[in-house]
């Protein structure tokens, strides 16, 4: 059976400084792929590299190919092997397949369930196809990796629930307002997480973005970025009467909005719901705002609690994902083991066909009076008999995956049909 091997480093085995040195980016990855494939020890090859991992999946042509890959990485990156060898993990056979499937399913990611890794793996595979470095085995295993990744995402909740502060804020807004596309957002200040939350809301289809900043030119710059409207900070209270979602992330040392202010504003809003996300430290918004009817205030600790709960939920769903991966690995190993049967099955067919043809030739020679139609009938009958003789043994060989010792049955089949010492007929 071809020995699938995977050699790599990731965020669990190597610090970012080493991952940076050993990563293959852009054109460099294409050059490395083609150069390594030229080595006589490599039969098939896929290389993928992200900020958190660099992995080389291959099938050796001779030996195990492991030293060849290590030496290539060292030469290509100008880093002595001893500088990175201890950070490498090496998986072979079913362990390599399981690792690949877990990576594609984002079960091995820093953030379980993140969707980006599948796209990155697909891109690396496309590069291998374009460079003609993948063959029958790796083509099959990569497509199976994509299929199981889709199945895990479809049949588990591994990708559900926000696991970032900014996205948790967006998810909460969606729960408070049934139709986010009819709502407008005001951004107070210009913190990074607040901007990310606004970007998530924009992708969810919010109607309008209003930006208020103490430095008006900064407000204009941000408003242009979000295709929104810039207003002066002093106008904030007026616009609070119109917007539905407020995301605050200023550098203020005191509350920029208090509960008494909001009570006045809510009267003019006729108590329409107002959702506040306070991502500032120290906090921008008076916690008592949450006591006002139809005001919903969440600060960064509230959001972090939600994120932690969601991460726990994802980890529970990951257990289901691991089970699906294990099933897929078993099925793939069975397929690979069946490849060993193919030469034997072909040899059995060839030998039975040869015997049948030899006997037909003898029969035809001794019965010259037969017509062409009779010849054809005898040919059909002989092929049918041969097919029926081969049917059960071949079906048995094709379905040997459940047997304890496939090699023993394969060896027995070759002896029964005397395949390794075939005499001329």
Q: Which residues are catalytic?
A: 51
CA distance 275 to 178: 13
What contacts 89, CB < 8 A, 6 or more positions away?
A: 6, 7, 8, 9, 10, 13, 99
Residue 389 to residues 59, 197, 352, 360, Cα–Cα distance (Å): 37, 69, 9, 16
Angle at 138 between CA 132 and CA 144, to 5 degrees: 130
CA distance 213 to 13: 43
Instruction: Please compute Rg for the chain using Cα positions.
Output: 33
CA distance between the termini of the chain:
31
């Amino acid at each position: 059976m071809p020995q699938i091997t995977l050699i790599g480093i990731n965020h669990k085995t190597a610090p970012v400084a080493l991952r940076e040195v050993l990563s293959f980016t852009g054109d460099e990855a294409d050059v490395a792929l083609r150069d390594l494939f030229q080595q006589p020890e490599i039969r098939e090859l896929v290389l993928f590299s992200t900020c958190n991992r660099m992995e080389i999946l291959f099938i050796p042509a001779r030996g195990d190919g492991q030293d060849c890959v290590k030496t290539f990485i060292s030469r290509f990156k100008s880093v002595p092997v001893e500088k990175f060898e201890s950070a490498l993990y090496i998986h072979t056979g079913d362990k390599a397949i399981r690792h690949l499937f877990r990576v594609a399913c984002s079960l091995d990611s820093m953030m379980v369930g993140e969707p980006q890794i599948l796209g990155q793996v697909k891109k690396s595979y496309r590069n291998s196809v374009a460079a003609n470095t993948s063959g029958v085995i790796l083509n099959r295993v990569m497509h199976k990796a994509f299929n199981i990744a889709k199945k895990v995402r479809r049949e588990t909740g591994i990708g559900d629930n926000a696991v970032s502060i900014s996205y948790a804020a967006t998810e909460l807004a969606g729960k408070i307002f049934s139709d986010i596309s009819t709502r407008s957002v005001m951004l107070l200040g210009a913190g990074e997480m607040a901007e990310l939350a606004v970007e998530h809301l924009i992708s969810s289809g919010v109607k309008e973005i209003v930006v208020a900043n103490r430095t008006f030119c900064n407000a204009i710059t941000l408003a242009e970025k979000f295709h929104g409207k810039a207003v002066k900070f002093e106008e904030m209270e007026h616009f609070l009467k119109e917007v539905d979602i407020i995301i605050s992330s200023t550098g203020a040392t005191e509350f920029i909005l208090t509960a008494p202010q909001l009570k006045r504003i809510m009267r003019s809003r006729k108590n329409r719901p107002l959702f506040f996300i306070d991502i500032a430290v120290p906090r921008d918004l008076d916690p008592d705002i949450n006591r006002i009817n139809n005001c919903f205030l969440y600060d960064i600790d509230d959001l972090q609690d939600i994120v932690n709960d969601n991460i726990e939920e994802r980890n529970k769903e990951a257990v289901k994902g691991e089970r699906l991966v294990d099933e897929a690995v078993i099925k793939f190993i069975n397929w690979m083991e069946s490849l060993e049967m193919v030469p034997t099955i072909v040899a059995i067919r060839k030998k039975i066909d040869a015997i049948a043809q030899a006997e037909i030739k003898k029969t035809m020679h001794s019965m010259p009076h037969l017509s062409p139609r009779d010849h054809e009938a005898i040919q059909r009958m002989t092929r049918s008999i041969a097919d029926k003789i081969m049917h059960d043994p071949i079906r048995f060989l094709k379905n040997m995956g459940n047997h304890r010792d496939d090699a023993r049955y394969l060896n027995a089949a070759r002896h029964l049909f005397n395949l390794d010492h075939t005499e001329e007929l």
